[in-house]
Amino acid sequence: MGFPTHHGGLENPPYKIQPKLPKRYPMSITCNSIKMTDKNGDLNFINQNATQWRDIPKKPIHYAPKEETIMLSGGLTILQDQLIEAALRSMGENYISMPNPNFESFQTGKAYGNRGQCNPTYFTVGNLVKYLQNLRDEKGLSSEEIVEKYVYITAGGCGPCRFGMYITEYKKALRDAGFEGFRITSFEHDKGIFQGDDIDDGILNFTPKFFITLIKSVIIGDIINLLGYKMRPYEVNTGSVDAAMETCKNLVANAFLEKKNLIRTLWKCRALLEKIELDRLQPKAKVMVMGEFWAAMTEGDGNYNLHRFLEAEGAECIPQPIINRLMLSLWEAERDVLKRESLQVEGAKKVDFSSVKTRALIRIGKMAIKTHFTLYAKAIGLHHYEIPDMDKLARLGEEYYTLDCEGGEGHLEVAHLIESVKENSSHLVISVKPFGCMPSSAVSDGIQSLVTSRFPQANFLAIETSGEGAANFYSRVQMALFKAKQSAKEEFEDLDMPDTMPDKIHNYLYQPHNEKAGTAAQLIESLTQ
């Protein structure tokens, strides 16, 4: 199914269809391609006694040594997954980023997963099962070989939402798909260690260097993605920004692999981006996409390719970079330490050095992220991008949502909406709410109604993604976008146009920041101030 189109509002110059529209599969083809195990459809369990679920495989498995073990992961943006692969391979890790989850992954997740899971679980669990099935059915590896040699790394948490159950979900689906005993591990911000399988330290070499390299690739990925979203809606030649992004990605990946200077590489990218012809005086609606972390960030069927859809409809997106989630995790970890310190425990030491050390490490972590981000952003030419101030966002959100509830994005969804209204940073805020997501439903459907009643000027849309029902999703986005386009047009037309336009107006390096929301309006305002 293709994108429904909508012509109207602000299509000046003419509306352009972006080249990379998502590939969709008819439901019948997708369903027929899913291979069930013999157990699927077997109703013999009826009238049998219930048995206890056990994570541990029935038979002991002799796992492969480190040099034969392959780490799998993925599920961030496409560019970031590829940069992470290059970065970790540069450290000698046998690591593969899996392809972006698609509709087929979702169907596979539904076929093998428990009922009533949230949408990201189906996409990510199904994506792993699909990948392993491909290794077995297309590449000819046996199931035993796959189980012995591969390890999957994912993010984890204690919940309180379904995040705490991810590992068990993976294991259940993998067992039913014929990969019992496949190793899964995850890391959590507040433990700093791993949950899931107890994997030999020699195999997973998670040293500080490993994490620093990983974070560098994530940060550079964020920066390149942010620039892509700023530039693509204004490109004069369709596809020129995507082509430049691809070249930048290859340059950075090679820099990781060949251990070249990353800042110098980003300067090369800057020279490339400067050559792209832009027409930035088009008053386009600016749309902040937020909501549940994975659903808002993914670039594919997981959110019906929302970012590309918005761009094709004539909008500019403000995506949520991964760094936001990292900063939230660090903020939550620091808050937990401070709360623990304030507890009165009988017989406790006056100074608990373990918590002093944890706090120091968190601060170093925050500083390292900010410093690297600033350095890399300056080199490639992303100016005036503010890393979210988590304390400020907490102050904005706490009146509406307790800071103690860490499920999903916690108070962040509320805080982002309020900040966007108060600072006039977008014409529309979309909260992507995965089907079956507990925290996101509570916030987007519940608390945000109170927020929008107190901030009636907010143009807010909470939209559910279920994996199916794209037509409904697109039409609701189009309706909200119509209002946003009108606001962008009015904002632009209310401005006094200068007599002459300096050349810098179309140069991506010129990124003025003022109280206007739209890019075109911000540029004109900056000339007349």
- The site for ligand SF4 (CB under 6 A) is made up of 118, 120, 161-163, 292, 407-408, 434, 437-440
Nearer to ligand SF4, 411 or 489 (CB): 411
Give the closest residue to 282 by CA, choosing from 522, 17, 3.
Answer: 522
Smaller CB separation from ligand SF4, 294 or 492: 294
User: For residue 215, which amino acid is it?
Assistant: I
Candidates 24, 20, 30; CA nearest to 1 is 24
Tell me which residue of 75, 122, 129 sits closest to 103, measured CA to CA: 122
**Minimum distance between the CB of residue 390 and ligand SF4, rounded to whole angstroms?**
18
Q: Of the two residues 96 and 438, which places its CB atom closer to ligand SF4 in the complex?
A: 438
**Do 155 and 116 touch, CB atoms closer than 8 A?**
no
Q: How far is the CB of 454 from ligand SF4 (least distance, A)?
A: 25
Quote helix, strand, coil % in the chain, to nearest 5: 50, 10, 40
Determine the Cα–Cα distance for residues 412 and 434; give it in Å rounded to an integer.
16
Closest distance between ligand SF4 and the C-beta of residue 445, in Å? 13
Tokens of 303: 């959110």
Cα of first residue to Cα of last residue in the chain, in angstroms, is 47
Considering the complex, state which of residue 292 and residue 316 has its C-beta at the smaller distance from ligand SF4.
Answer: 292
Q: Of 120 and 126, which CB lies nearer to ligand SF4 in the complex structure?
A: 120
Give me the helix-helix angle, 240-257 and 262-274, nearest 10°.
170
Which residues have a Cβ under 8 Å from the Cβ of 230 and sit 6 or more positions away? 316, 382, 508, 511, 519
Cα separation, 95 vs 81, in Å, equals: 11
Identify residue 38 by its one-letter amino acid code: D
CB 98 to ligand SF4: min, Å? 18
- Decide whether 120 or 221 has the Cβ nearer to ligand SF4: 120
**Burial grade of 294 (CB within 10 A; 0-12, 13-18, 19 or more):** buried
CA distance 508 to 230: 8
Q: Which is nearer to ligand SF4, 88 or 153 (CB)?
A: 153
Query: What's the CA gap between 199 and 222, in Å, rounded?
Result: 30
Cβ proximity to ligand SF4: between 121 and 305 the closer is 121
| Cβ contact 109:173 at 8 Å | yes
- Residue 159 CB, nearest approach to ligand SF4 (Å): 7
Query: Which DSSP state fits 502?
Result: -
State which residue, 405 or 495, has the beta carbon closest to ligand SF4.
405
CB-nearer residue toward ligand SF4: 226 or 437: 437
Report in angstroms how near the CB of residue 123 gets to ligand SF4 at its nearest: 10
Which is nearer to ligand SF4, 169 or 197 (by Cβ)?
169
- Looking at the Cβ atoms of 107 and 459, the one nearer to ligand SF4 is 107
Task: Decide if 81 contacts 59 (C-beta within 8 A).
Answer: no
286 and 427 Cβ atoms separated by less than 8 Å: yes
Question: CA–CA separation, 36 vs 377, rounded Å?
Answer: 47
Shortest Å distance, C-beta 163 to ligand SF4: 4
State how far the alpha carbon of 345 is from the alpha carbons of 335, 341, 349, 351, in Å.
18, 9, 9, 12
- In angstroms, give the least distance from the CB of 161 to ligand SF4: 3
Least distance to ligand SF4, CB of residue 223, Å: 25
User: For residues 127 and 296, what is the distance between their CA atoms, to the nearest angstrom?
Assistant: 18
CB 126 within 8 A of CB 110: yes
CA distances to 82, 203, 340 from 69, rounded to whole Å, are 19, 7, 39
Least CB distance from residue 297 to ligand SF4, whole Å? 11
Min dist. Cβ of residue 440 to ligand SF4 (A): 5
CA–CA separation, 405 and 160 (whole Å):
8
Find the shortest distance in angstroms from Cβ 151 to ligand SF4: 21
- For the bound state, the minimum distance from the C-beta of residue 179 to ligand SF4, rounded and expressed in Å, comes to 22
Task: Name residue, tokens 């903020």.
Answer: 331
**By C-beta, is 162 or 171 nearer to ligand SF4?**
162
